[in-house]
């Protein structure tokens, strides 16, 4: 459902821009019914990659397909196939939860009767019925995040992208959100999940890719990566790979100066 093939993204038009690109020659695939984790520190290239998948950014080089549709040449088809949730997705202060989700359903071209049936199902599944009439300006952070999820799901897309969705949530709200994502996998959704929280990766992800400075350091299951790098704790795997990559960059820079 998601195919990323030798993706590069640079924000600079200079001839040597690819040397400092935000994403460097990244390739991976994600299947239906799978949660694929993108893990890395701030500036690793996670959000840039997700924004390219969501057609908010254009790739500099390489190919990205969502549901068989190319993000560069078929952006409208990609947007119909995807739901995007981030930790800072805006919710309109003056619109109620119901009005917000309805508005996005209409943007996707859903007919009113079909849309309302889908919304009733979503509000029940996400336990949103108690605040469906509450305006965004009076919602808690957890409520606003559920509204963001509902509006991403309303058109029933096969692919879902979560960009650090638990950031800023309290423990109970974060746990509820992770349970929702787990249920979506059971429904056969293809899920790309970006985070820097090791526990979330270990709890949810079928496979994980570790990024640093836009480059893929390793990809596989948590257990396979722990075995490959001879570390009993996955957090140790992560920091080992980051340290190795930083040392390699430092050695390269020193050699270039010399």
pLDDT per residue as tens digits for the range 138-181? 999 889 989 999 999 999 999 999 998 888 888 888 888 899 99
Q: Which residues pair with 227 in a beta bridge?
A: none
Asked if residue 255 has pLDDT above 60, the reply is no
pLDDT of residue 153: 93
pLDDT of residue 15: 47
State mean pLDDT over 128-138: 95
C-alpha dihedral, 249 to 250 to 256 to 258, nearest 10°: -160
pLDDT of residue 166: 86
Asked if residue 13 has pLDDT above 90, the reply is no
pLDDT band at 19 (very low <50, low <70, confident <90, very high): low
State mean pLDDT over 51-62: 94
pLDDT band at 93 (very low <50, low <70, confident <90, very high): very high
3-state secondary structure the chain: CEEEEEEEECCCCCCCHHHHCCEEEEEEEECCCCEEEEECCCCCCHHHHHHHHCCCCCCCEEEEEECCEECCCCHHHHHHHEEEEECCCCCCCCCEHHHHHHHHHHHCCCCHHHHHHHHHHHHHHCCCHHHCCCEHHHCCHHHHHHHHHHHHHCCCCCEEEEECCCCCCCHHHHHHHHHHHHHHHHCCCEEEEEECCHHHHHHHCCEEEEEECCEEEEEECHHHHHHHCCCCCHHHHHHHHHHHHHHHHHHHHHHHHC
Q: Where are the domains of the chain?
A: 2-83+160-257
Q: Which of 133-137, 187-191, 229-233, 254-258 has the lowest mean pLDDT?
A: 254-258
Residue indicated by tokens 């100066």: 257
Q: What is the CATH number of domain 2-83+160-257?
A: 3.40.50.300
State mean pLDDT over 28-50: 93
CA dist 9 and 58 (Å) reads 8
Please give the model's pTM, rounded to 2 decimal places: 0.89
pLDDT of residue 241: 94
pLDDT of residue 90: 78
């Amino acid at each position: 459902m998601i195919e990323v093939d030798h993706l590069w993204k640079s924000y600079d038009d200079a001839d040597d821009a690819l040397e400092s690109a935000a994403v460097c020659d990244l390739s991976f695939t994600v299947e239906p019914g799978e949660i694929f984790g993108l893990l890395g520190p701030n500036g690793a290239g996670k959000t840039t990659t997700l924004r390219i998948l969501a057609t908010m950014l254009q790739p500099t080089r390489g190919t990205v397909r969502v549901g068989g549709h190319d993000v560069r040449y078929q952006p409208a088809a990609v947007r119909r196939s995807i739901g995007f949730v981030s930790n800072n997705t805006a919710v309109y202060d003056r619109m109620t939860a119901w009005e917000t989700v309805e508005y996005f359903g209409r943007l996707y071209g859903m007919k009113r009767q079909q849309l309302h049936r889908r919304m009733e199902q979503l509000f029940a599944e996400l336990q949103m019925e108690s605040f469906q009439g509450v305006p965004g300006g009076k919602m808690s952070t957890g409520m606003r995040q559920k509204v963001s999820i509902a509006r991403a799901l309303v058109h029933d897309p096969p692919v879902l992208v979560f960009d650090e969705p638990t950031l800023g949530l309290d423990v109970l709200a974060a746990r509820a959100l992770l349970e929702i994502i787990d249920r979506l996998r059971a429904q056969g959704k293809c899920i790309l999940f970006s985070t820097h929280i090791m526990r979330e990766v270990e709890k949810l992800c079928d496979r994980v890719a570790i990024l640093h400075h836009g480059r893929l350091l390793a990809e596989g299951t948590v257990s396979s990566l722990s075995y490959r790098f001879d570390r009993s704790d996955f957090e140790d795997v992560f920091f080992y790979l980051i340290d190795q990559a930083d040392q390699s960059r430092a050695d390269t820079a020193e050699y270039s100066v010399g």
